[in-house]
Amino acid sequence: MFYIQHQQYERCSLLATVVKTEVMLGTSGRRLSGVVVTPETPRIRFPTLVCVPGASYGREYWDLQIPESITSGGGSTNPNAYSFAEYAATQGFVVVALDPLGVGASDRPAEQPCTLDRVVAAGSEALTDLRRQLSLGTLCVGLAAMPEPTVVLMGHSTGAILALIQQARFGGCDAISLLGLNFVQMAQRLASVESIARNDSTSAGEARIRSLYGSAWRGLDTIDKMDKKLMDLDFFHGPAGDPRIRSFDATHSVPWPARPIVEGFDNIPTMRDLAMKIGVPLFLGYGEGELDGLPSPHSNAAWFPNTQDLTLYVTPGAYHCHNFSDGRRELWRRICDWAASVVGNSPALISKETA
């Protein structure tokens, strides 16, 4: 069953109304929950943007709805100010924000454990289902069939790891955008917990994630919230970040299965081999603050020698969670311009109601 939600908001845009549709995509038992955000009357066939969140976030990271009382003391006239999905839809894109397997309303596999391999495979199955429904015109009401749909896969942080592995193993995307995925930084963080791992006879990835979960840690095969009170929110938002935004983030942590996060960290040493398999256009995005004291972000770009179309953008003033930052709109504009240019535009798409 589909649920339609209309949201109006006041700001200048290509299309001022977006439609939101709840969907489940993929194979029975491994379906992913998602929200499809589209212009009310689609006019231009841009690629579909498929967005995957990072650990401690659900699909809401791409469609943040922060109360006006937090963002501007009640004086805002733009309630979608933090929603990438709504912004991109107003530019003519179809946006599909997904919860990974085991997160939010997505299925939790009956077979245990919920491994990284299963999470990535479920993402690939969901993408195949999405392409099928886009081509048939059955994804949501008002969206006409796209005989040859094009898809850009986007991931933030742990979601970027999932996106990279999925594209390297299964393909299926015409371009990918990896945000906040810093191989150099992650290797440094793993090195910082190696001594703990040796003492506990665990992997460095598990030691790292245990340090993030804090007292909530109950083992590799649990699904639980990270205790953001114990996390480095300066890295997420910056030391000068709005305390109201930081508090909102800390109190809206989303439970994740622990094992795929651990295995994602443990796979960083072998991630270079996967990165070398990426040949489609690539957008790498970082926050200026999350690079402080680290080598140039171009050191990460060097991991992708087989893509001949690589764009790198550092968002001024932003930290790791770019969609909360003051510079988010420029990042969003850059991503939308990039996605439209590398995949290409198609003839005008007429909605079913007017066809």
List beta partners, residue 156. Answer: 179
Would you state the pLDDT for residue 4? 33
CATH code of the domain in which 321 resides: 3.40.50.1820
169-209: per-residue pLDDT in tens? 999 999 999 999 988 777 777 777 677 666 777 887 888 78
pLDDT for the residue numbered 266: 84
Cα distance between residue 288 and residue 286, in whole Å = 6
Work out the angle at residue 183's Cα, subtended by the Cα atoms of residues 182 and 188, and round it to the nearest 5 degrees. 100
At residue 203, what is the residue type? S
Query: In this predicted model, which residue has the larger pLDDT, 49 or 146?
Result: 49
Q: Give pLDDT tens digits for 96-118.
A: 999 999 999 999 987 778 999 99
Confidence of residue 13 (pLDDT cuts 50, 70, 90): very low
- Distance in angstroms (rounded) separating the CA atoms of residues 174 and 131: 12
Residue 240 falls inside a structural domain = no
Q: Strand, helix or coil at 140?
A: coil
220 lies in some domain = no
pLDDT (average), residues 12-19: 60
Per-residue pLDDT, 94: 94
pLDDT of 250 strictly over 70: yes
Task: Tell me the per-residue pLDDT of 18-52, one tens digit each, with 9 for 90 and over.
Answer: 899 999 999 999 999 999 999 876 655 689 999 99
Phi-psi region of 36 (alpha: psi -120 to 50; beta: other; left: phi over 0): beta
Maximum C-alpha span of the chain: 66
To the nearest 10 degrees (0 to 180), the angle between helices 183-192 and 204-213 is 90
Classify residue 224: in a domain, yes or no: no
Instruction: Specify if 229 maps to a domain.
Output: no
- Residues with Cβ within 8 Å of 90's Cβ and at least 6 positions away in sequence, in order, are 13, 14, 15, 16, 18, 39
Q: Higher-confidence residue: 3 or 220?
A: 220
Q: Is residue 41 a part of any domain in this protein? A: yes
Q: Residue 252: inside a domain, yes or no?
A: no
What pLDDT is attached to residue 115? 94
Structural domain tally of the chain? 1
Given a contact cutoff of 8 angstroms between Cβ atoms, the answer to whether 29 and 109 are in contact is yes
State how far the Cα of 117 lies from the Cα of 293, in Å rounded to an integer: 33
Residue 27 lies in a domain: yes
Q: Among positive and negative, which fits the CA dihedral 231, 232, 234, 237?
A: negative
Query: What is the 8-class DSSP label of residue 100?
Result: P
Distance CA 231, CA 251 (A): 12
Whole-prediction pTM: 0.89
pLDDT given for residue 334 in this prediction? 97
Q: In whole angstroms, what is the distance from residue 131 CA to residue 172 CA?
A: 9
Domain extent at residue 178: 4-189+267-354
Rounded to the nearest integer, the mean pLDDT of the chain is 84
Residue 160, in any domain of the structure: yes
Radius of gyration of the chain (CA): 19
